[in-house]
Amino acid sequence: MFDSYQSNTLQYDPVKCINCGMCTTVCPHAVFSPGDKKVELANYLACMECGACQMNCPTGAITVESGVGCAYAMFYAALTGKDEPTCGTGDDGCC
């Protein structure tokens, strides 16, 4: 069973949101949901801090300190079309 992470670094500023829906598309745990004029933070505790929402938010409405295991690296590799995940600039791999 999935245990919610009780404290995370996710911050969402709805004032900056343009309702593009990218966060709802890339979030693997449905933390965000579509709203009428702004995306809504629907399931805050389900956030695993992968950083996909922040990387894909065009207005900077979402911030999160990425780095849960190698989740960030795997998402970044998948989103950028890289064959192997890396944990940062110059790393040969981490997972």
Q: Which domains does the chain have, with CATH numbers?
A: 11-68 (3.30.70.20)
- In this predicted structure, the answer to whether residue 86 has a pLDDT above a threshold of 60 is no
What pLDDT sits at residue 92?
Answer: 42
Q: Flag whether the pTM goes above 0.75.
A: no
Concatenate the DSSP letters of all residues of 4-58 into one string: PPS----EE-TTT-----HHHHH-TT--EE--SSS-EE--GGG-----HHHHH-T
Alpha helices in 1-95 (DSSP H): 22-26, 52-56, 71-80
**Tens digits of residue pLDDT in 21-76:** 999 999 988 999 999 999 999 998 888 888 889 999 999 999 998 765 456 566 67
Top mean-pLDDT range of 4-18, 20-34, 65-79, 81-95 = 20-34
What pLDDT sits at residue 89?
Answer: 41
